[in-house]
Chains A and B, each alone.
Chain A
Amino acid sequence: MTNTSRREGLLVQTGLKPARTQVVVGLGSCGIAAGGQKVRSALSEAIERKALPIQLRETGCVGMCYREVLVDVFDPQGKRFTYGNVTPERVERLVTDHFESGRPVRDWLVRSPEEPLADDSFFAKQKRIVLRNCGIINPESLAEYRARDGYQALEKVLRQMKPEEVIQAVRDSGLRGRGGAGFPTGLKWQFARGAKGEKKYLICNGDEGDPGAFMDRSVLEGDPHTVIEGMLIAAYGIGADEGYLYVRAEYPLAVRRLRKAIADATMAGFLGEHILGSMLTACGSKFSFQLHVKEGAGAFVCGEETALMASIEGQRGMPRLRPPFPATSGLWGKPTNINNVETYANVPWILLHGPQAFADLGTQKSKGSKVFALAGKIARGGLVEVPMGITIGEVIFEIGGGIKDGRAFKAVQMGGPSGGCIPASLADTMIDYESVTQTGAIMGSGGMVVLDETACMVEIARFFLDFTQKESCGKCTFCRIGTKRMLEILTRITQGQGQEGDIELLYDLADKIKTSSLCGLGQTAPNPVLTTLRYFREEYEAHIREKRCPAHYCRKLLVYRIDSDLCTGCTACTHACPTQAISGVVKQPHLIDQTRCIQCGSCVAKCRFDAVKTQ
């Protein structure tokens, strides 16, 4: 069989090129959370009951999380119709109208081969390399992965390339670490290859801890084989025969799918002893690689490479001084290469399409594409992959559809607790490692939390400090105690007890924490404070000097009043108020006694008529 006809056969066999109608339900974590399993059951029940000639399949996340639950319908000609916001109640009409009568339900379509729809712009500017299979293949099917050129890059590498050539190709592609720091991947591999030692390890860092980031989860859940193939190529390049995939404990679905993928790949001869049978590789020997999954146990700092390795060794996940770098002395003292999930997921594509195809994308120093998780006050929250060099504004407005509920764009938080807030005025900033760093934020692993005018920037800074302060491992004094003091100051400011000199004190502490912490957690912990001070200093000053929160967020700085036109006198708020500050007669507008009000907000939460207003 020729390669093409083998591929065609696989495509039909796996349903990626349907011979009959295919219905595919998106069952990533977000799809399941939105009720994907119930939709799947309803579809399955209806198809069975009516004995329809339809194959029901499942897939990972395509990225349109804002439209979950998503259902794709492929007709026998291969045309793809995508339905969004599918509920079990909507299934019946889908079945009768579309599956039985061939009339797509236009009102519920989000993508259609027959007409342009508003959601098309979500995909127009994307370039999907890492996510090329996510939302298309069944992540639990090796056959479907193979039908999309899966493990072709590995075969090519083992048959035709020497390890040095693999490393050179990755260097030529310009790929940089996608975990956030952006170190050139090929160079890292070269260090590990050059390190002395027989035994070498390879680690994939899937300890995605940044709140507001879910890129790695989606890749691991949606296309686990890509990550495994990328690791295999890297292992061949550096000369490692054993590896670990370290995944966050909070991602049980990813762990389950990875374990299945590893078992399937081992069965098929892509993993384990003597990969691809008894074949001699281009360097004249046999290649073996053992891969283990390690579940994290809930510690943010384990995303730091030396802490992660300590955790694999079964110790407390505390970072250590570098050098020695993992490339020379890593896991159990052996040379170790460690990359992020997304970095490895890029590798098969690069080897298959050539480094130049990757290097053609992006800017001078940042090549290829980057996956971002869009969340917060954005109209279309989800997972996107864009070419480097695109602007922040393009991602938020053209792909993300702008801000929810027609509010104004205020800032975007990039890089999680290590990153910073980029204000709306810098929306033209290009997305590449250097440009983002210039703003004071960092590229980070790819979380983009969009903030609108209702967000208080002091409170956002306090939120991140609260996070890093809790997650600090406690090894370095300034990280352990300095973050605590910064948090106390920020909490005071948001509660109306800010003092003159607080801002200077924050700067002083920030500088000391950054310069005297061992690892990235401490070195970057002050960034959210520093960037909000840089771009929104007037908000800090309003809190401190005027005891006013310009965004009307900080409760302690608000004055609560009841709008007598809206109040119906239902008395719900009087019962909710813990200090009996609200009085009034039934069916008459009520009043709040400002001397007794403790600004707890209970009345706002209780009022069903939106009658409690804040100033």
Chain B
Amino acid sequence: MSQSRKKPKKSSATREETEAGILGAILTKYVGTAGAVIPILQESQEALGCLRPQTIETLALGIGVPASQIYGVVTFYSQFRLTPIGKHLCKVCHGTACHVSGATEVGEAILDQLHVDEGGTTADGRFTVQSVACLGCCSLAPVMMIDEETHGRLTPDRARKVLREV
């Protein structure tokens, strides 16, 4: 999913108001559409960066189902996040082709360079590093995706260089 999103406002009161507005607009769009839970969650996350407990409560009320059901959907699919991510999302591919082409070493180099654990966000909030199963660019293996841009034919050194240049 695209990582371009609106920055949450600093004052919490304003943030809640803005959030209610955003969610309201999304919910209105899907009134009467069957099975719209997933697209609603996708658009809400796109707009807000992640799905906080309060967001889930609001959406559950709007859709008219228990919050537990929404929470069940959110935690089932790997796309959904309960906590915010860094400014840039770095997805390191660990698909079969990447795995046999040295993705493990590339992944380690990235975590080492950014001083972060798998799935974590750097202290300065710039990067979140995620392992993913397959980005579908197998012939350029090993690959990683930073935000919307794919970088292929990586080596540990090339990966470090790409990160330095972001």
Chain A residues packing against B (C-beta within 8 Å): 29-30, 32-34, 65-66, 68, 208-214, 217, 249-252, 294-300, 311-318, 332, 373-377, 381-382, 413, 416, 447, 449, 451, 455, 460, 463-464, 467, 471, 473, 601, 605
Pick 29 A–B contacts, CB within 8 A, sort by A: A29-B137, A33-B140, A33-B143, A33-B150, A65-B138, A65-B139, A68-B139, A209-B133, A211-B133, A211-B134, A212-B96, A249-B42, A251-B136, A294-B39, A297-B38, A297-B79, A300-B133, A316-B72, A316-B73, A316-B76, A374-B139, A375-B97, A376-B100, A377-B100, A381-B138, A381-B141, A449-B96, A449-B100, A464-B96
Given contacts A295-B42, A313-B34, are A463 and B96 in contact (CB under 8 A)?
yes
Q: 4 tightest CB-CB pairs across the interface, nearest first?
A: A65-B139, A211-B95, A314-B37, A381-B139
Find the residue from B76, B79, B140, B150 having the highest chain A CB count within 10 A.
B76
Q: Which residues of chain A are within 8 angstroms of B34 by Cβ–Cβ distance?
A: 313-314, 332
Within the assembled complex, what's the spacing in Å between the Cα atoms of A317 and B35? Answer: 12
B55 within 8 A of A: no
Within the assembled complex, what's the spacing in Å between the Cα atoms of A250 and B141? Answer: 16
Find the residue from A30, A33, A251, A316 having the highest chain B CB count within 10 A.
A33
Contact B140 A68, beta carbon cutoff 8 Å: yes
Contact A451 B100, beta carbon cutoff 8 Å: yes
CB distance from A601 to the nearest CB of B (A): 8
Near A by CB (< 8 A), chain B positions 68-117 give: 72-73, 76-80, 94-97, 99-101, 105, 108-109
Given contacts A214-B138, A297-B41, are A317 and B76 in contact (CB under 8 A)?
yes
Find the residue from B95, B101, B105, B151 having the highest chain A CB count within 10 A.
B95
Q: Which residues of chain A are within 8 angstroms of B96 by Cβ–Cβ distance?
A: 211-212, 375-376, 413, 416, 447, 449, 463-464
Within the assembled complex, what's the spacing in Å between the Cα atoms of A455 and B101? Answer: 10
- Knowing that A34-B140, A314-B38 touch, tell me 5 more A-B residue pairs with CB under 8 angstroms: A212-B138, A294-B38, A300-B133, A316-B73, A375-B141
CB distance from A582 to the nearest CB of B (A): 17
Contact A66 B134, beta carbon cutoff 8 Å: no
Contact B137 A467, beta carbon cutoff 8 Å: no
Q: Which residues of chain A are within 8 angstroms of B143 by Cβ–Cβ distance?
A: 33
B20 within 8 A of A: no
Within the assembled complex, what's the spacing in Å between the Cα atoms of A499 and B1? Answer: 44
Which of B99, B133, B140 lies in contact with A30, CB distance below 8 A? Answer: B140
Contact A33 B152, beta carbon cutoff 8 Å: yes
B11 within 8 A of A: no
CB distance from B15 to the nearest CB of A (A): 25
Residue on B nearest A214 in the bound complex, by CB: B136
Q: Which residues of chain A are within 8 angstroms of B109 by Cβ–Cβ distance?
A: 605
B162 within 8 A of A: no
CB distance from B126 to the nearest CB of A (A): 22
CB distance from B101 to the nearest CB of A (A): 7
Which of B2, B101, B137 lies in contact with A214, CB distance below 8 A? Answer: B137
Residue on B nearest A606 in the bound complex, by CB: B156
Which of A252, A294, A375, A467 lies in contact with B1, CB distance below 8 A? Answer: A252
CB distance from A139 to the nearest CB of B (A): 16
Given contacts A314-B36, A315-B73, are A212 and B95 in contact (CB under 8 A)?
yes
CB distance from B46 to the nearest CB of A (A): 11
Contact A252 B2, beta carbon cutoff 8 Å: yes
Within the assembled complex, what's the spacing in Å between the Cα atoms of A363 and B38? Answer: 42
CB distance from B52 to the nearest CB of A (A): 18
Residue on A nearest B80 in the bound complex, by CB: A297
Near A by CB (< 8 A), chain B positions 123-145 give: 132-141, 143
Contact A299 B76, beta carbon cutoff 8 Å: yes
Which of B37, B97, B105 lies in contact with A449, CB distance below 8 A? Answer: B97
Within the assembled complex, what's the spacing in Å between the Cα atoms of A449 and B139? Answer: 10
Q: Which residues of chain B are within 8 angstroms of A382 by Cβ–Cβ distance?
A: 139
Contact B79 A605, beta carbon cutoff 8 Å: no
Q: Which residues of chain B are within 8 angstroms of A463 by Cβ–Cβ distance?
A: 96, 99
Residue on A nearest B133 in the bound complex, by CB: A211
Within the assembled complex, what's the spacing in Å between the Cα atoms of A311 and B34? Answer: 12
Contact A299 B77, beta carbon cutoff 8 Å: yes
Within the assembled complex, what's the spacing in Å between the Cα atoms of A68 and B150? Answer: 14
Within the assembled complex, what's the spacing in Å between the Cα atoms of A467 and B133? Answer: 8
Residue on A nearest B135 in the bound complex, by CB: A250
Within the assembled complex, what's the spacing in Å between the Cα atoms of A252 and B150? Answer: 12
Within the assembled complex, what's the spacing in Å between the Cα atoms of A447 and B132? Answer: 17
Within the assembled complex, what's the spacing in Å between the Cα atoms of A524 and B140? Answer: 28
Contact A375 B38, beta carbon cutoff 8 Å: no
Within the assembled complex, what's the spacing in Å between the Cα atoms of A96 and B134? Answer: 40
Q: Which residues of chain B are within 8 angstroms of A318 by Cβ–Cβ distance?
A: 76
Contact A375 B77, beta carbon cutoff 8 Å: no
CB distance from B151 to the nearest CB of A (A): 7
Within the assembled complex, what's the spacing in Å between the Cα atoms of A96 and B136? Answer: 35
Contact A66 B156, beta carbon cutoff 8 Å: no
Contact A299 B151, beta carbon cutoff 8 Å: no
Q: Which residues of chain B are within 8 angstroms of A464 by Cβ–Cβ distance?
A: 96
Q: Which residues of chain B are within 8 angstroms of A214 by Cβ–Cβ distance?
A: 134, 136-138
Contact B78 A298, beta carbon cutoff 8 Å: yes
CB distance from B2 to the nearest CB of A (A): 7
CB distance from B32 to the nearest CB of A (A): 13
Residue on B nearest A332 in the bound complex, by CB: B34
CB distance from A67 to the nearest CB of B (A): 10
Q: Which residues of chain B are within 8 angstroms of A295 by Cβ–Cβ distance?
A: 38-39, 42
Residue on B nearest A251 in the bound complex, by CB: B136
CB distance from A318 to the nearest CB of B (A): 8
Within the assembled complex, what's the spacing in Å between the Cα atoms of A463 and B103? Answer: 12
Given contacts A211-B134, A463-B99, are A298 and B141 in contact (CB under 8 A)?
no
Residue on A nearest B136 in the bound complex, by CB: A214
Contact B78 A299, beta carbon cutoff 8 Å: yes
CB distance from B74 to the nearest CB of A (A): 9
Residue on B nearest A452 in the bound complex, by CB: B100
Q: Which residues of chain A are within 8 angstroms of B36 by Cβ–Cβ distance?
A: 314
Within the assembled complex, what's the spacing in Å between the Cα atoms of A352 and B105? Answer: 50
Q: Which residues of chain B are within 8 angstroms of A249 by Cβ–Cβ distance?
A: 1, 42, 79
Q: Which residues of chain A are within 8 angstroms of B138 by Cβ–Cβ distance?
A: 65, 212-214, 373, 375-376, 381, 447, 449
Residue on A nearest B77 in the bound complex, by CB: A297
Q: Which residues of chain A are within 8 angstroms of B35 by Cβ–Cβ distance?
A: 312-314, 332
Q: Which residues of chain A are within 8 angstroms of B150 by Cβ–Cβ distance?
A: 29, 32-33
Contact B79 A298, beta carbon cutoff 8 Å: yes
Within the assembled complex, what's the spacing in Å between the Cα atoms of A547 and B152? Answer: 35
Within the assembled complex, what's the spacing in Å between the Cα atoms of A295 and B38? Answer: 9
Within the assembled complex, what's the spacing in Å between the Cα atoms of A251 and B79? Answer: 13
Within the assembled complex, what's the spacing in Å between the Cα atoms of A447 and B108? Answer: 26
Within the assembled complex, what's the spacing in Å between the Cα atoms of A313 and B37? Answer: 8
Within the assembled complex, what's the spacing in Å between the Cα atoms of A605 and B108? Answer: 10
CB distance from B72 to the nearest CB of A (A): 6
Contact A455 B100, beta carbon cutoff 8 Å: yes
Within the assembled complex, what's the spacing in Å between the Cα atoms of A377 and B102? Answer: 11
Within the assembled complex, what's the spacing in Å between the Cα atoms of A66 and B37? Answer: 40
